[in-house]
Amino acid sequence: MNFLGLQILWADFGKATAMILGVAFSTLLMAQQAAIFVCLMANSASHITSAEDVDIWIADKRSDYFDDPGALPAGLVDRVRSVDGVAYAAPFLRRGAIVDTSAVIEQAILVGVDGASLLGAPQKMLYGDMTSLRSADTFIVDRRGYNDIWPGEEIAIGRLLEVDGRVLKLVGVADPPSPFISQPLIYVSLSTAALLAGEASPSFIVARVKDPAAAPAIAAAIEAATGYSAFDSKAFGQRTIDYYLENTGIPINFFITILLGFIVGAAIVIQTFFLFVTENLRHLALFRAMGAESWPLIRMTLVQCALVAAIGYCLGLAAAAWFFETVPGKVPAFKGFYLPAGVVLKTGAVVFAVAIFSGLISIRRAIRLDPAIVLRG
């Protein structure tokens, strides 16, 4: 019976192809947009999660997330160091800055790190060494920021850039994960940051602990001892992601796109399969007249739906995988984006659920209809 169902399916190749393409389009749209959303939200905490040498972040209680830094007193770092379990603590600066070349004036993000420990500095360098920041009036820029400041030019270590009214020398190019805010990242030492115009007070205090497993407990002890907010890296990263989820329109926009993909794909599959079953009522009625029970017909229809869903899902997923395999390497805005396994599995569950649902709706009429009426017509 199942084999006959497949023969009936492929006998109308046009409708079978339409259903497969509908499933493929729905899969592509849902998987692609869901993956972009997941990666985009993860990028909002990329600096936190990529700073593997930092275990705890201490912030002003009025700071809701990483991109909303406050101004902390310089003496706070000594109070943090005095808490049991803290191996080392250092100030960390993050604020806006103005970079000026002969061709462009651009907004940038200034990141000031402790020159002795370099806590919170990027871990991966493309050119140069992070320790070069210990020299006076030097800076390191991220790869994407270099392209923004000097578009189309080859990387040249040693070139000069005016940052907040002071000329600094480029000593390296870093390769951190893509930030949520797409502005150049300018890394300097805190001693260099103090020479620039603008705020020089620490935005955060970053700490490394003796036992990383005890970081949440030590963060609670720091908060109790200092009166400032303290989070382990995982909690602070999640706090930043939650802020963007709850206070921006990004989740709603992506949800609408994903929902549209689901609705369009589901409508195509349900309508096409309903018409397919309607046009094959004579075959189904003949099976009923020959004594076939309802369950074999339902099973035959579900096999047809499962095959259509499997082929369409694989095609759509292949297109989404191709997108994330090729585009992030060519478009800087998509750097580090990938197709998460959770998105693949959940998209597959939705696609197969829609296919099975469309099959059950379609076969319902054939089961309830009297075979004699169909055969006489």
The 3-state secondary structure of the chain reads: CHHHHHHHHHHCHHHHHHHHHHHHHHHHHHHHHHHHHHHHHHHCCHHHHHCCCCCEEEECCCCCCCCCCCCCCCCHHHHHHCCCCEEEEEEEEEEEEEEECCCCEEEEEEEEECCCCCCCCCCCEEEECHHHHHCCCEEEEEHHHHHHHCCCCCCCCCCEEEECCEEEEEEEEECCCCCCCCCCEEEEEHHHHCCCCCCCCCCEEEEEECCHHHHHHHHHHHHHHHCCEEEEHHHHHHHHHHHHHHHCCHHHHHHHHHHHHHHHHHHHHHHHHHHHHHHCHHHHHHHHHCCCCHHHHHHHHHHHHHHHHHHHHHHHHHHHHHHHHHHHHHCHHHCCCCCCHHHHHHHHHHHHHHHHHHHHHHHHHHHHCCHHHHHHC
| Residue 88: strand pairing partners | 208
Residue 348's alpha-carbon distances to 341, 343, 360, in angstroms, are 11, 8, 18
State both tokens at 322. Answer: 């191709």
Q: Determine the Cα–Cα distance for residues 100 and 184; give it in Å rounded to an integer.
A: 12
Q: Determine the Cα–Cα distance for residues 55 and 233; give it in Å rounded to an integer.
A: 6
Q: Determine the Cα–Cα distance for residues 324 and 36; give it in Å rounded to an integer.
A: 9
Please tell me the predicted confidence (pLDDT) of residue 246.
85
Please tell me the predicted confidence (pLDDT) of residue 61.
86
Residue count of the chain: 377
State both tokens at 28. Answer: 């592509």
What tens-digit pLDDT sequence spans the chain (377 residues)? Answer: 556 656 666 667 777 787 888 888 888 888 888 898 888 888 888 888 888 889 999 998 888 788 878 889 988 999 999 999 999 999 999 998 999 877 778 889 999 999 889 998 888 899 999 899 999 899 999 988 898 888 888 899 999 999 998 999 999 999 888 777 778 899 999 999 988 877 778 899 999 999 999 999 999 999 999 999 999 999 999 888 888 888 877 778 878 877 887 787 777 777 777 777 777 666 666 666 676 676 777 787 788 788 888 998 999 999 999 999 998 888 777 878 889 999 999 988 888 888 888 778 777 766 766 666 555 55
Please tell me the predicted confidence (pLDDT) of residue 228.
92
Q: Determine the Cα–Cα distance for residues 138 and 188; give it in Å rounded to an integer.
A: 7
Cβ partners under 8 Å of residue 277, min gap 6: 284, 301, 362, 363, 365, 366
Q: Determine the Cα–Cα distance for residues 59 and 49; give it in Å rounded to an integer.
A: 16
State both tokens at 118. Answer: 């370099």
Domain boundaries, the chain: 2-43+249-376, 73-227
Q: Determine the Cα–Cα distance for residues 279 and 282; give it in Å rounded to an integer.
A: 8
| CA-CA-CA-CA dihedral for 278, 280, 284, 287, to nearest 10 | 170
State both tokens at 302. Answer: 């579900």
pTM: 0.77
Q: Determine the Cα–Cα distance for residues 254 and 36; give it in Å rounded to an integer.
A: 9
Packed helices 250-279 and 341-368: angle between N→C axes, nearest 10 degrees: 30
